[in-house]
Chain A
Amino acid sequence: MTKLKNLKKSTKSNLITFGIVILFYIVVQILSGADLLTSSFSGQLVPICAYVVLAVSLNLTVGILGELSLGHAGFMSVGAFAGTLVWVLLCETAPAWLALILAFVVGGIAAGLFGVVVGVPVLRLSGDYLAIVTLAFGEIVKNFMNACYLGYDSTGIHFSLKDSASMGLADDGVVLINGAMGITGVTKASNFTIGIVLVLITLIVVLNLIHSRAGRAITAIRDNEIAAQSIGIQITRYKLMAFITSAVFAGLAGVLYSLNFSTLVAKKFDYNTSILILVFVVLGGIGNIRGSVIAAAILTVLPELLRSMNDYRMLIYAIVLIVMMIFNQSPQMIAWRKRIAERFAARRAKGKHPTKEVG
């Protein structure tokens, strides 16, 4: 116990975050072992993990680097398509675990490469300009993947941006990406355990990055770019580091997400998804990693819990979101919560040391 108390404040906070994730995993495993989980909830476990990873990785850009990115779904899309392609090509020949690991690695690398391509020119901008450019990037990826036809036959790989006929596949050809229909007939591979492992890896990397020397440099850039530059911090390098790490994990989350469904379409990764992830981050608290984890999990489950409301579902979802935002983030509410907490603490202190009150 004393050891725990002597831990650094940040380490303790990190341990609590890991503890929450692991506890969630154990509870779900016990419940599913006892057959107490509804199929509705167990069906959402993998998407929850994917959204948690996305929220944590976006928080790295938005909260730690302090740049607003509206194209996170774009990186997710790149990772999802790259990873799923690898999985589709390998899952029948290679052992499943190898194909799966390769799918994740390729998905992460592909998204990371796009992170470099987008990051190098874009990180010269900041604020609103960066937000608009990342938004455009997300739309480009979506529209490109929507128009992308890819297949192979005995003569090699065929590609077209027009229609599937213009690929000129031979009779033995296999269509891999079929434009707007995307990739279909994917054998599902994701499960909750893989999801939780990915969440833990993301947390370890992101939390360590934040509390490392590089992380302090990144937050220094966020707080005052000119001051950071004046003390010799390489702005571009650290900005890119945060941005690319964020992109890689978005790609990994994309792979996890897409391998949970038998079909993958580019339409899913539009700006609505980017905004959704941003909502997780904002609700959980910008820069607050644990908040992102919890907010992503709650906001993924919430619409499903509201199904009994029928036609009013989306309306109530929006209202609940507004109320939660105000309760969580408005300064007055924070002050009010603090007052309440103090009152409780005072009362508890009273109960513990009644003599002090007399004296």
Chain B
Amino acid sequence: MSDIRPVGPTRAETEQDAAEQVMTVGVPETPLTVEPERKPGKQARPASLWNDAWYDLRRRPLFVLSAVLIAILLVMAVFPGLFSRVNPMDATTCVLSNARQAPSSVHWFGTDNLGCDVYARTIYGARNSIVVGVSTTIVTALFGGLLGLIAGFKSGATDTVLSRTTEIFFAIPQILGALLILSVFGTGNVWTIMLALSVLAWPMTFRIMRAAVITAKNQDYVIAARALGAGSGRIMFRHILPNAVAPVIVIATINLGGFIAAEAALSFLGVGIQSPDISWGLMIDSARDRFLEAFAPLLFPALFLSITVLAFIMLGDAVRDALDPKLR
């Protein structure tokens, strides 16, 4: 239709303009929508996949809610002192005679078996969870993503070797495998946990990246780029990667919550974070014996854990919806 009048604005363009107007008129000022001031007369930058996704995300209550939660958690992880005046790493703050107190104005979440403040410990526990979750996600996304890109692009023997390798890892249950790896290491801290989880989790990212690359590789624009003289490296990183990275981002975000839960599980089982370091999983473990006498030391870290995992999974969901044009 629009072909009949190639000189005027195309339909897509008019829609774009309309969308632009809605964007500048209809959005209330929130910290998330801070945009650089547009100079009058200068053409507004049109929507790419990422701009579109961002535009779409900001309008999703699910995204806003999870983003706010995650922002709070990140601040908590970096500056726990902002939330709690008590430093739980200081042993003098634990008074044994105060053990298992109910929540009060002094101890908001009560105290645990050793008389330590549960609120302070819960706040300080966020850091380990976040560090494990984020670092595992980054390592698996980079490692699995890169190998997936190579396997999908090269195909043939390279692909076969890499793909069969991932299948071996798929056969190992994640928690059992991590348990085994960590008991070999002997010490549980954030970095060994990260390593153990990464070793077992990269094949998932690998597969998703590989599939996305194979889809992108056979697109006409990749063949066209080749026909116009682009080399292999350029085709791989400039033409295929940007078109294949979206599903990896989605799965990474969703996995992040899973890694946090896995860290808690490993700490709960005693091979993860070790006392006196603080972890939600560890707190749940030590509170479980006396749960009937004092529910608070178990309830609050469990609640924080659930909310954190939920926040990341909700974020992943929102990102997926925004990046997948077919779901719009």
Task: Decide whether A and B assemble into one complex.
Answer: no
